[in-house]
Amino acid sequence: MPHRDELYMARAIEIAKNSRRFSSPNPCVGAVIVHQDKIIAEGYTSIYGGAHGEINALKKVKNPNILSESTLYVTLEPCAHEGKTPSCAKKIAEVKPKRVVIGMLDPFEKVNGEGLKILQFKIRYKFAYFLIC
């Protein structure tokens, strides 16, 4: 994994820690969006039932037109199912970032590998790396 990917994933992991006190039973998820080697947005999981980390980061992007040229770093595979919130994987597929770097597959049975299927089907670019968080 290139050094920059490690750097931005480490930042996403650090951001995820912000949700430790209030996201349960959801996992703590951090996300960083990078455009031209500059962080343009960050997010982490909200309170239970609220937006997940990657959605909170996407909401902070000031110019959505550059997402197609950006990389999304997320600590956990984006959710595929619909529950209290819409599918993060579907939303990411809609905005079509150039790359998505995922820290680890989600061990939750409703997600495990399903988020990847949605993203690989809709985004022209496949996932470049997997890093165990």
**Which two structure tokens, joined as six digits, stand for 78?**
């984006």
Q: Which of 76, 108, 104, 110 is nearest to 92 (CA)?
A: 76
Catalytic member of 6, 14, 42, 54: 54
**Residue 28, amino acid:** C
Place of tokens 């930042």: 11
The β-bridge relationship of strands 38-44 and 30-35 is antiparallel
Are 127 and 116 a contacting pair, CB within 8 Å?
Answer: yes
Those residues with Cβ within 8 angstroms of residue 19's Cβ, 6 or more apart along the chain or in another chain: 28, 29, 30, 44, 45, 46, 53
Are 53 and 30 a contacting pair, CB within 8 Å?
Answer: yes
- Among this protein's residues, is 54 annotated catalytic? yes
Q: Which residues are catalytic?
A: 54
